[in-house]
Structure 1
Amino acid sequence: MAEKTDNSSQPPVIVCFSGLDPTGGAGIQADIEAIKANGGHCASLITSLTVQNTHNVKQLEPINTSLLAEQTDTLLSDIQPDGFKLGVLGSSENAALIADTIKQFPHCPVVLDPVLAAGGGTALTTTQLVEAIKHQLLPLTTICTPNTLELQQLTSKQPINQAAQLLLEYGVAAVLATGGHLLDSANTIQHQLFINDQPAQALFSPRLPGEFHGSGCTLASALATQLALKKSIALACQQGLDFTYQSLLNAVKIGSGQLIPTRHFY
């Protein structure tokens, strides 16, 4: 295990376990851009390769767990992490490896973006992987950032507050249930932050027209960086949401499908 160099000018290192997105809109590329823009450095561990475009994912191929383990060990023997961000995991075996890795760094905040399906609808997980997320990763997670559909898939609970409470019972410290899939307002998105033993908090973002590729990755990576910078959970969530809104506001149409966020708008 590497020792952290005592240098306050160094950016916090966020270790990202994510998939590779050839469009550059989501996955590890989104992580790299969002973490850099928020003042961090992204160390990238690829969990899966994908065949996709701005419309949908056609195929997902998990990285062999033994190869991922070798890369993880090699990286972390040299670089000390300040936080973890988890996206597409690829397989339950990969999830178990990631859980064992996180346990070695109990001081690091962990943000879990439970990517269960692509924006176009293709499933990106299995029953075994969902169980690994619930029982192996959630107890190690600082903040889980499901959208309302993912929240229901993880818990089989319909009301958001009941579903979030169940995730808290699995051991996660906080749940940021994002509200982009709820069409309760034409102009505003309401997100809900649930923290153990605290009242639920409502956070808001302006609603933008169109569909976006990589908004969840953007939010989770920005949030992980803010936590590594020692922000409180509530402040990190609000700053992550504000950054994501600006990234979507400045999104560009690279292909004929979903818009690609601009995460270096400044």
Structure 2
Amino acid sequence: MSRTVPVVLVFAGHDPSGGAGLAADIEAVASMGAHAAPVATAVTVQDTRRVQRFEPLPPALVAEQARAVVEDLPVAAVKIGMVGSAANAAAVAAVLADLGDVPVVLDPVLAGGGGGSLAGEEVREALLALLVPRATVLTPNSEEARALAPEADSLEACAQQLLAAGAELVLLTGTHEPTEHVVNRLWGNLRLLERFTWERLPGSYHGSGCTLASAIAGLLAQGLEPFTAIHEAQEYTWEALRAGYRPGRGQHLPNRLFWAFDRGETS
């Protein structure tokens, strides 16, 4: 008997380096045993060093891509990364309204890992108004959290503001903070629920946020409850980073398929 593979509807930009965006999402979702249905929101010009520029796709085209998927495939979870424009955020929100009670993981992508803006003020406001309230899990890094909640005077206050904006859970990642270990904090019910501490790996990585958010979405699609999905996705992401490699002249890329190789081949 064939086993049903759950479907994750993914909204993100295309990164030609393959390190982040849709390429990262597809690999991470597949690694969780789910099927990624990728909807392109933007085309970027970037490499492993930085974003040079990007062009958002027309919102009608974004919506048409998504509705073609929804009308054919049973979507079990949604992952949202780069939306490209405020109009695209509205298009994504309209699709979510039609999907009903499906878990949503929102990675509020505002800049490339190596630098370069991927969102302006209008996009930030659209994320807060239209997509954050729909998020089962919101996964900002500390810089994104401060940008989304600029009036907050601490990361704790940022998390509280994002919960007040409607996110069910906020996993605030600490890779950008000057700490010995990476500390990720999970917030929900207007309080700190859990603190996750990870060994800080050397170097910097392109696509780590995409990897984490997509892994969470893949596990939610499998039916895991959010806390378990969040914990297991962090373990997977850390292993992918530890097995990472540097194919270009910029950041390392996570080896999201580390599990397909012998340990000696990925070290």
What TM bracket, shorter-length normalisation? over 0.9
Structure-2 residue corresponding to 1:25: 19
In 2: Cα distance, 1:41 partner to 1:18 partner: 15
Query: Offset of 1:225 from its aligned partner?
Result: 1.0
In 2: Cα distance, 1:133 partner to 1:54 partner: 26
**Partner-residue secondary structure (3-state), 2:231:** helix
Letter in 1 for 2:219: Q
Structure-1 residue corresponding to 2:262: none
Q: Identify which range, 79-88 or 200-209, moves more after superposition.
A: 200-209
Structure-2 residue corresponding to 1:57: 51
Q: Identify which range, 53-62 or 103-112, moves more after superposition.
A: 103-112
In 1: Cα distance, 2:173 partner to 2:110 partner: 14
Q: Identify which range, 159-168 or 101-110, moves more after superposition.
A: 101-110
- Indicate how the Cα distance of structure 1 residues 236 and 8 shifts in structure 2: closer, same or farther if over 3 A, else same: farther
Aligned equivalent of 2:157, options 154, 162, 165: 162
Aligned equivalent of 1:261, options 244, 248, 254: 254
Structure-2 residue corresponding to 1:36: 30
In the TM superposition, what whole-angstrom CA distance separates every residue of 1:139-195 from its partner, at most 9, and x where no partner exists? 11101000000000000123111110000111110000000011221xx21110001
In 1: Cα distance, 2:188 partner to 2:43 partner: 34
Letter in 1 for 2:188: I
Contact 2:185/2:192 (8 A) holds in 1 = no
Structure-2 residue corresponding to 1:149: 143
In 2: Cα distance, 1:12 partner to 1:70 partner: 21
Alignment of 1:15-164 (within 5 A): 15-156=9-150, 157-164=152-159
**Partner-residue secondary structure (3-state), 2:101:** coil
TM-score calculated relative to the size of structure 1 = 0.94
Structure-2 residue corresponding to 1:175: 170
In the TM superposition, what whole-angstrom CA distance separates every residue of 1:34-76 from its partner, at most 9, and x where no partner exists? 0001111000000000101110000010011122222222221
Query: Offset of 1:198 from its aligned partner?
Result: 4.8
Structure-2 residue corresponding to 1:4: none
Query: Offset of 1:126 from its aligned partner?
Result: 1.4
Query: Offset of 1:128 from its aligned partner?
Result: 1.1
Alignment of 1:236-255 (within 5 A): 236-255=229-248
Query: Offset of 1:83 from its aligned partner?
Result: 0.4
Letter in 1 for 2:173: T
TM-score calculated relative to the size of structure 2 = 0.94
In 1: Cα distance, 2:73 partner to 2:178 partner: 43
Runs of 4+ in 1 over 6 A off after TM superposition: none
Structure-2 residue corresponding to 1:194: 187
In 2: Cα distance, 1:15 partner to 1:137 partner: 15
What is the root-mean-square deviation in Å for CA atoms of aligned residues? 1.3
In 1: Cα distance, 2:134 partner to 2:76 partner: 15
Aligned equivalent of 1:211, options 182, 185, 204: 204
In 2: Cα distance, 1:45 partner to 1:199 partner: 33
Query: Offset of 1:107 from its aligned partner?
Result: 2.3
Structure 2: stretches of 5+ with no match in the other structure:
260-267
Letter in 1 for 2:89: A
Query: Offset of 1:259 from its aligned partner?
Result: 0.6
Structure 1: stretches of 5+ with no match in the other structure:
1-6
